[in-house]
Structure 1
Amino acid sequence: MNNNFVLIDHPLIQHKLTIMRDRETTSGKFRLLLKEISLLMGYEATRDLPLSSKNIETPLEEMEAPTLSGKKLCFFSILRAGDGLLSGLLELVPSARIGHIGLYRDSETLEAVEYFFKAPKQLSSRLCLVVDPMLATGHSACAAIDKIKRHGAKNIRFICLLASPEGLTVLAERHPDVTVYAAALDRELNSKGYILPGIGDAGDRLFGTTK
């Protein structure tokens, strides 16, 4: 198992995830819950952000107060389902820079195929959080991180709703420097590369579309 794996098992997250797994949950409810969970997960993934101090005046006196230091964070959404996690993270850190990576999974090879990429500047000095609800085969996550690293990123974390043991193994082998934050580690992948027991296709459930 990947040593750089953080399971975020807060009761509120687990409760919301159970509702999301239910096949009867509507797209609107699914979308809202994913946003809420991503905000909660964001606290854990950013708990060690560097701080500096500055002088401020409260209504009563002057003080040295903590404030974030360094370049602004960068959130990378793996399209399209990653945008469901992105919305909650942006509520947490509205000033973050945003990157997008368009990937789809080839149905036969299960490999990731890129169709879009747009990134902010100065990635080498930013903490980059890559978001996608599923870490299934690991191919899309690895392809996204490969691309971000080629554009200079050095400090990368991956946030997902569900991870599979297979996906964690692949990501750990390709990118041992990347920590994965997940709300659940599910049992396995099926023959089509879907996580079991899973939540189904996150993008289709998020946007109310069908295959």
Structure 2
Amino acid sequence: MSLRYGILGLLSKWDASGYDIKKEFDDFMSIFWHSHLSQIYPELSKLEKDQLVDSKLVPQDGKPDKKVFSITEKGADELAHWLHSQPETPKIKDAFLMQAFFMDNIPADEVIFQLKFYQKERQQRLEKMQRTIAETWQGIKERNVMSSRIVMSAVVLKRGIEQEIDYIKWCEETIQFVESCKYLWDNESSVDGDNNRMLFDEWEEQFMRYFGGHL
């Protein structure tokens, strides 16, 4: 359902084609929502059928006419109703955390490799966000404008950046933690592993240091 309201939210400020909407989801809105064109166009059709958006064909030189969508009064009311409703608690689906949960099944060196690889991906995502912000802020400064949309976009961007920084920090700390616990993998894979079980008391200090007061 959030895709529906995301589209209405974009159209609340400007008219746009399906391609324009997709570009917004790929750039600014990728911080909190990902969507494919194959999802956006069917949703636009549903919105138009429900009379929440209108469309018109705009001629283009040397190209097929472009279908441009705009929000209707009914659509604006629907968006306002959604914005006034209580937000749902997000249902977390993190594919990498699912993998990490079961990484006791692979060698510790492979665990560390996967963590470093994922850390690099999150770093690249952070850098992309920072470039987007720099370009956006430059445009705002050049236009010398300020609005409530800019304020709320900024708070979402801030949360997105903090999220990536936290994930990168977690990867770094977890790499160090796994490196300090590599003996556990070696011990469990040895022939005598069952006879050499480690005691938590021997590792408690490392656990507490890793969790940093969260326990």
Q: TM-score range by the shorter chain?
A: under 0.3
**More strand per residue:** 1
TM-score norm. by structure 2 comes to 0.24
* TM-score, L = length of structure 1: 0.24
Q: Which has the larger radius of gyration?
A: 2
Higher relative contact order (Cα pairs below 8 Å, separated by 6+ residues): 1
